[in-house]
Structure 1
Amino acid sequence: MSSALLEVEGLTAGYGAAPVLHDVNLTVQPGEIVAVLGANGAGKTTLLRTLSGLVRSTGGKVVFDGVDLRGTRVEQMVRRGIGHVPEGRGVVTELTVDENLRLGGLWRKDRAEAKKALDEVYELFPPLAQRRTFAGHQLSGGERQMLALGRALVGRPRLLLLDEPSLGLAPKVTGQIMALLRDLRERTGLAVLLVEQNVRSALSIADEGVVLALGRVVVRNKAATLRDDADLRHAYLGF
């Protein structure tokens, strides 16, 4: 039996009659960070949306912790332990920081556990604790990214699907976000499937890299190998 937390085999998906992903295969082990890289239009966001249930697959299978997720509703994905932070951060700007975070734990029936999860996020992100009553639109870009991450983490996921966390952020803030992901992995065993245009940042924290081109996996290797192979970087990653 496989030890992988997530197994994707032969995944095909898209919008309407137009497939975007073609026969995609990848795995994520418990506590592993896998970076999904590629040019705009490669299918990276569609991959995460398919894994979280927002886009229905038309072929292949997605197995999480030994369970085939085909046909699973989005809200059930969260209960099973999959958190998704979409591109653009997905913060409800009219709601306060506290209200946004509580949305991530609405499905929890145990109020004590819900409060504990909320407190853990405030401890993880001190700036959010200082801005509990601020509306989302009053936050900086970095704070909004913290809030989006925090809302997903309130659900205590075992796998985090993270789409372009560095988008629009200053390099210093990007570094802080990447360091946080590495720390979460080390402290909690969180597995991360990370879509990121900032290739250097992604490979600096990833264990493995998967490169997509036109919806197909063209390279799958250790992150260190991708970083050190100049020919491969020039061919597929643009640096």
Structure 2
Amino acid sequence: MSSALLRVEGLTAGYGAAPVLHDVNLTVQPGEIVAVLGANGAGKTTLLRTLSGLVRSSRGQVVFDGADLKSTKVERMVRRGIAHVPEGRGVVTELTVDENLRLGGLWRRDQADAKRALDEVYELFPALAQRRASAGHQLSGGERQMLALGRALVGRPRLLLLDEPSLGLAPKITAQIMALLRDLQKNTGLAVLLVEQNVRSALSIADEGVVLALGRVVTRNKASALRDDADLRHAYLGF
């Protein structure tokens, strides 16, 4: 659709001469949460890495807010309003919580608003506010996930590419992070492309879902329809 914030058409990408993604098409509308689902090896992480410029595509088009992102450098992607929180959280463990968060706003010209964004992140994550002087390696897994997400939010992104936020976390923490994503969507209009192995959690907050298998889109539908499609769930989603 022409109104899409993110439009991906015919995307083929991989590592070296081996494609992982094959002719992928998807869209994300402003303020929409789209869950990318599928088994291990389906190409979910490669999709996010390609969209954020870490992996170069061999064919296809990625358009964000009307601009073709082909050959756009990673730092330019951030300035355009795309934030990528990779699997494994990506916290700089030698830096404090506060220093990690400030990294998310170093590039911003409006430093006054960057400070406001930092304060807002501490309001969103009171646990981080209590540990702002603690080093990254001193944090729990849940706190590190909050920190990685908070650092992305300091940049005030319009689109968040979020890879496996529940990985290794207790169900209670997972539920808190999913609820936060839904609140951010409602309160700020943030769009999210969410890769998540916890299919039930992802579909509980997503507006739509895209199912990948062997690097190809098997189906895209409303999240509620995917939850209700027993044959598809059993075949591709494992529940």
Same fold (TM over 0.5): yes
User: Aligned runs of 1:59-78 on 2, under 5 Å?
Assistant: 59-78=59-78
Report the counterpart of residue 185 of structure 1 in structure 2. 185
Q: Deviations over 1:185-238 (max 9, x none)?
A: 000000000000000000000010101011000111110000011111111111
Report the counterpart of residue 229 of structure 2 in structure 1. 229
Distance 1:123 1:78 in 2: 23
Report the counterpart of residue 6 of structure 1 in structure 2. 6
Task: Confirm or deny that 1:90 pairs with 2:55.
Answer: no
User: Aligned runs of 1:1-239 on 2, under 5 Å?
Assistant: 2-239=2-239
TM-score, normalised with respect to structure 1: 0.99
Distance 2:124 2:19 in 1: 39
The one-letter code sitting in structure 1 at the alignment partner of 2:100 is N
The one-letter code sitting in structure 1 at the alignment partner of 2:237 is L
Distance 1:9 1:132 in 2: 42
Local SS of the residue matching 1:95: coil
The one-letter code sitting in structure 2 at the alignment partner of 1:113 is D
Local SS of the residue matching 1:49: helix
The one-letter code sitting in structure 2 at the alignment partner of 1:101 is L
Distance 2:72 2:82 in 1: 12
CA shift, 1:110, in A, is: 2.3
Distance 1:76 1:113 in 2: 19
State the percentage of identical aligned residues: 90
Structure 2 residue runs of 5 or longer lacking an equivalent are none
Distance 1:114 1:193 in 2: 24
CA shift, 1:109, in A, is: 2.1
Q: Which runs of 4+ in 1 moved over 3 A?
A: none
Local SS of the residue matching 1:153: helix
Distance 2:13 2:229 in 1: 31
Distance 1:238 1:133 in 2: 41
Q: Which has the larger displacement, 104-113 or 69-78?
A: 104-113
- Equivalent residue pairs, number: 239
CA shift, 1:117, in A, is: 1.3
- Structural RMSD (CA): 0.7
Structure 1 residue runs of 5 or longer lacking an equivalent are none
TM-score, normalised with respect to structure 2: 0.99
The one-letter code sitting in structure 2 at the alignment partner of 1:117 is A
Q: Deviations over 1:22-60 (max 9, x none)?
A: 000000000100000001111000000000000011100
The one-letter code sitting in structure 2 at the alignment partner of 1:195 is V
The one-letter code sitting in structure 2 at the alignment partner of 1:51 is L
